[in-house]
Amino acid sequence: MAADIPEHHVPGTPEAEQLDRVFRALAAPVRRELLRALSEREVDHADLSWLADRLTGVDDRLDTPEQVVVALTHVHLPMLADAGLVEYDRRSETVRYDPHPFVSRMLRTIPSIAEQ
């Protein structure tokens, strides 16, 4: 019976663990808004200051661009990078995003903060 179950459904497999990381990353509204902002750009990258300007005020704890940068560098970008959703270069403070079809569908399905 286990042979009929796709690998991404079998707990403990690398595929299932990767899927878990993606869902954990998408669980936070701030990270979804970050991915939405990146997906709307005509280029595949953005710097932290651009992201901070776009995300200031999307969360009660992110009232200033400085607070956003701290949250991005210490929490959100590492989690998104671990899930394979972005590449983050700390030295250049640049985030690169290559939209994945599954994630794009999820972002279209889940309302944005502005729509809530």
Instruction: Quote the pLDDT of residue 35.
Output: 96
> Structure pTM?
0.83
Q: What percent of the chain has pLDDT over 90?
A: 64
Mean pLDDT, residues 8-13 taken together: 68
Instruction: Quote the pLDDT of residue 1.
Output: 38
Map residue 27 onto helix, strand or coil. coil
Instruction: Quote the pLDDT of residue 82.
Output: 94
Angle at which helices 29-39 and 48-55 pack, to 10 degrees? 120
Domains of the chain: 7-115 (1.10.10.10)
**By the 8 A CB rule, do 78 and 88 touch?**
yes
